Amino acid sequence: MDAAQLDTIVERYPGATGRVLGVLEQVQRRAGYLPRDALEYLARKLAMPLSELYSIATFYSFFTLEALGEHVVTVCMGTACHVNGAPRIVERLERLLDVGAGETTGDGKFQLTTADHAFSLTSARCFGACSMAPVLRIDNRIFGYVTPDKIPAILRQFDWEGNHHRNY
């Protein structure tokens, strides 16, 4: 993102209330992550130490410092989803996308991107769509009542070509 784009975002927050998180949220939504040069530019623009902005960027789980894949698959890890089988959904997604969330789920949180950068698999706390648990979100679409077997068809809607090497 260039300086002009960042300036436009900052201008949308004339008051101090909610500004810092609001600006970062817009950058995250537009760029898909918080690029380092954007943070450095914003630190100067908002007159904050870079260390503070970096601290914020690493505190809130909505922000990422690395570019995510083209499509972001987010699995809801809320209570209703948990009791209705979210862990099995994660397992299947790991295998289909060939990424190893299991290795990093010690803290219940993961963020993995496929080798071709087409998909990122992440977790989120409750989406608030508990009535259709388990749910997952791909980009901005929410899919409810997901079962492991429904996942390939869902992924195909996002140009997933499947893993041809193995048979699932």
Partner 1 sequence: MIRVVINGKACTAEKGESLLSVARRKGIDIPAFCYEETLAPYGACRMCLVEVVKGAQEGITTACTLAAAEGLEVLTQTSEIVSLRRALIELYLAQAPRSEAIRALAQRYGIQKTRFARKVRPDDPLQNRCILCGLCVRICHDVMGAGAINYIGRGHFTEINTPFYEESAVCMGCGACARVCPTQAIAFEDIVQTRTMKSWSGTRVPLHACSKCGRHFAPAPFVNYARQKLAPDLQQTPLRLCPDCRSREIARKAVLLSTGAAVAD
Partner 2 sequence: MGLATCGIAAGADRVYAALESAIRKQEHNIQLRRVGCIGYCREEPLVNIHLPGKPLVILHRVTEADTGRILHAAATGDVPRDLALCRINAWDPIVGDKLVFGTGFEDIPAYETTPYFAPQQKIVLRSAGLINPEDIDEYFAVGGYTALHKAITEMSPADVVHEVIISGLRGRGGAGFPTGLKWNFTKEEQSLRKYIICNADEGDPGAYMNRNEMESDPHMILEGMLIGAYAIGAREGVIYVRAEYPLAIERLTAAISQAQRHGLLGENIFGTDFSFSVTIAGGAGAFVCGEETALIASIEGQTGRPRPRPPFPAQKGLWGMPTNINNVETWSNIPVIIHRGGKWFSGIGVPENSGTKVFSLVGEVECVGLAEVPLGTSIRTLVFDIGNGGLRGKAIKAVQTGGPSGGCIPASLFDTPLDYAHLTEVGSIMGSGGVVVMGTETSMVDTARFFIGFTDEESCGKCVPCREGLKHMLMILDKILAGRASVADIEILEELSGLIRKTSLCGLGQTAPNPVLTTLRYFRNEYEALVERSRSS
Contact residues for partner 2, defined by CB under 8 A: 15-22, 24-25, 46, 48, 52, 55-56, 59-63, 77-84, 107-109, 124-133, 135, 140-144
Residue 14, preceding bond cis, omega within 30 degrees?
Answer: no
Nearest Cα residue to 159 out of 30, 69, 68: 69
> Is residue 51 part of the contact set for partner 1 (CB under 8 A)?
yes
Our CB check for partner 1 shows the closer of 60 and 145 to be 60
Our CB check for partner 2 shows the closer of 80 and 118 to be 80
Our CB check for partner 1 shows the closer of 114 and 123 to be 123
> Is residue 54 part of the contact set for partner 1 (CB under 8 A)?
yes
81 vs 88: CA distance, rounded Å: 10
> Is residue 55 part of the contact set for partner 1 (CB under 8 A)?
yes
Show contacts with partner 1 in window 10-39 (CB under 8 A): 36, 39
Show contacts with partner 1 in window 88-117 (CB under 8 A): 107
> Is residue 44 part of the contact set for partner 1 (CB under 8 A)?
no
Residues 6+ apart with CB under 8 A from 119: 69, 70, 71, 72, 73, 97, 113, 155, 158, 160
> Is residue 49 part of the contact set for partner 1 (CB under 8 A)?
yes
User: Which option in partner 1, partner 2, none does residue 16 bind, with CB closer than 5 to 8 A by kind?
Assistant: partner 2
* Interface pick for partner 1 out of 53, 81, 90, 151 (rule CB under 8 A): 53
Nearest Cα residue to 140 out of 1, 32, 4: 32
124 vs 16: CA distance, rounded Å: 28
The least distance separating partner 1 from the CB of residue 59, rounded to whole angstroms, comes to 5
147 vs 26: CA distance, rounded Å: 33
Residues 6+ apart with CB under 8 A from 157: 138
Q: Which stretches of the chain bind partner 1, using CB under 8 A?
A: 36, 39, 48-55, 58-59, 107
